[in-house]
Amino acid sequence: MTTRSLARDRDEAGATTAEYAVCTGAGVGIAGVLFKFLTSDAGQQIISTIFDHVLKLLPF
């Protein structure tokens, strides 16, 4: 390896960690919004409607 490639590798050493942190933060944010929606009255109604339609599709 040349000195130039070693310097480039050192400059990007924390890039992967930062990318993981951003993706984890985004995932937690989306999960929080989804949880808040699904525990609301509108979310409960949607879940109930989907569940009822699935039960009507079952042959028993």
Q: What is the pLDDT of residues 15-26, one digit of tens each?
A: 788 899 999 999
Cα distance between residue 22 and residue 25, in whole Å: 5
Residue-averaged pLDDT of the chain:
86
Provide the pLDDT for residue 60: 78
The domain segmentation of the chain, as residue ranges, is: 3-57
Please answer whether residues 38 and 47 qualify as being in contact, where contact means their C-beta atoms are separated by less than 8 angstroms.
Answer: yes
Q: Which stretch of DSSP H or E encloses residue 25?
A: helix 15-38
Q: Which pTM value belongs to this model?
A: 0.59
**pLDDT class of 29 with cuts at 50, 70, 90:** very high
Mean pLDDT of 32-59: 95
Provide the pLDDT for residue 59: 87
